[in-house]
Structure 1
C-alpha cells in the first residue's frame, strides 16, 4: 500500500496558516499538537513540504539562510475547501488520529492488512493468463468490498 502524506500536508498547512516556519519547527509543532502521539520525522515532513511546494500551496523563503515556509493564497483556499468537508476542530482530529495509529488495535489491523495485501498479490500473480481465476478473484474482491461497505454503515 502506498504511504499517504495528505493528512500531514493538511496539518502543515494549518500550522503555516498561523505563522511561517522552518522544517524543524514544523516537526516540533506537529508533535506538540498530538501531545507526543506523533513523532514527526524529516523523512515525512520534508517530502510533504516538497509536494506542497510543487502543488503551489506554500512558498519557500531561503533569503535568511534558513528555509522558511509560508502558506500562500492557494494553500489558504485548500484549507477553506477542506473545512467545508470536515466537521470539528482539525487539531482534535489530528490528536485522535495519531493516538489511534499508536494503539494496539491499529498495530494489529495494519499487520492483518499487510498479510492480506501479500496474499492478494500472490493471488493476482496466479490469476495472470487464467481468465477463470481472474474472474473468480474479481468476484471475491467485489464481495469483500460490498461486505466492508455494509459493515461501515453500521
Structure 2
C-alpha cells in the first residue's frame, strides 16, 4: 500500500480530498491491483457454516459475528448469503433447527458431522484462510496511518498557503518531512 497526493483532479475511488489536494491510497500494485475476489464460493461457505454449527449450535447472526471476529472485521458475510445457505444446509439434512422463534438456532446432524469428517482437510484449510486474514488485519490497522497522513498533508497545505512562507521556512519543512520519512523507513 502506498499514498500519493496530487493537486487538482477530482476525487477517485480510494481517495479523499483536502482543499486543492487529493490523497489516494492504492493496494496491490500501481492502480489498485485486480478485481475483488469473493472470500468463499458457495460450497466453501457451506463447509465453514457447517463446521461452526457442529462446534456449537448457532443462529445466523452468531455465525456472521463469529466470522467477522475471526477475520478482524475484514470479512462479514451478509444476512442475504447466510440465511439462504442455512436453509440449503437444512434441506440437505446436514443441520437441523433446534429452536424456533425469531432466532432459529441450528445444530449439526449426524450426516453433517460425517460430511465434515470426509472433508476435514478442506475445512481446516478454509479456517486457516480465515485466521490468516484476521492475523493480517490485526498486524496492519490502516486507520491511524490514514488519519496521521491526512493530518500531515493538511498541515503542509495550510502552511504553504500562507503568504509569509519564506524559502528558509520551506527548506525547514522539507527537512522535517525528509527526517520523518527516514525514521519510518528505519522502523
TM-score band by shorter chain is: 0.5 to 0.7
In the alignment, which of 98, 119, 128 is matched to residue 92 of structure 1?
128
- 1:51–1:93: structure 2 CA closer, same or farther, 3 Å change rule? same
Unaligned 5+ segments in structure 1 are: 100-154
Q: What is the alpha-carbon root mean square deviation over aligned residues? A: 2.7
- 1:98–1:43: structure 2 CA closer, same or farther, 3 Å change rule? farther
Correspondence list, 1:74-93, <5 A: 74-83=111-120, 85-86=121-122, 88-93=124-129
Match of 1:67 in 2: 104
| 1:11 aligns to 2:48 (yes or no) | yes
Would you say how many aligned residue pairs link Structure 1 and Structure 2?
A: 97
Q: Is the 8 A contact 1:60 1:68 kept in 2?
A: yes
Taking the aligned partners of 2:84 and 2:123, their CA distance within structure 1 comes to 27
Taking the aligned partners of 1:21 and 1:10, their CA distance within structure 2 comes to 15
In the alignment, which of 53, 71, 90 is matched to residue 53 of structure 1?
90
Offset of 1:28 from its aligned partner? 0.5
Offset from partner CA, 1:26-79 (integer Å, 9 cap, x none): 110011122222122111101110110111000012346530011111110111
Q: Which has the higher contact order (CA 8 A, sep 6+)?
A: 1
Match of 2:67 in 1: 30
Where 1:70 maps in the other structure, the secondary structure is strand
Q: Is the 8 A contact 2:48 2:123 kept in 1?
A: no
TM-score (norm 2): 0.45
Unaligned 5+ segments in structure 2 are: 1-39, 136-187
Where 2:119 maps in the other structure, the secondary structure is helix
Which one has the largest radius of gyration?
A: 2
Match of 1:21 in 2: 58
Q: Is the 8 A contact 1:37 1:95 kept in 2?
A: no
Offset of 1:98 from its aligned partner? 8.8
Offset of 1:86 from its aligned partner? 3.4
Match of 1:39 in 2: 76
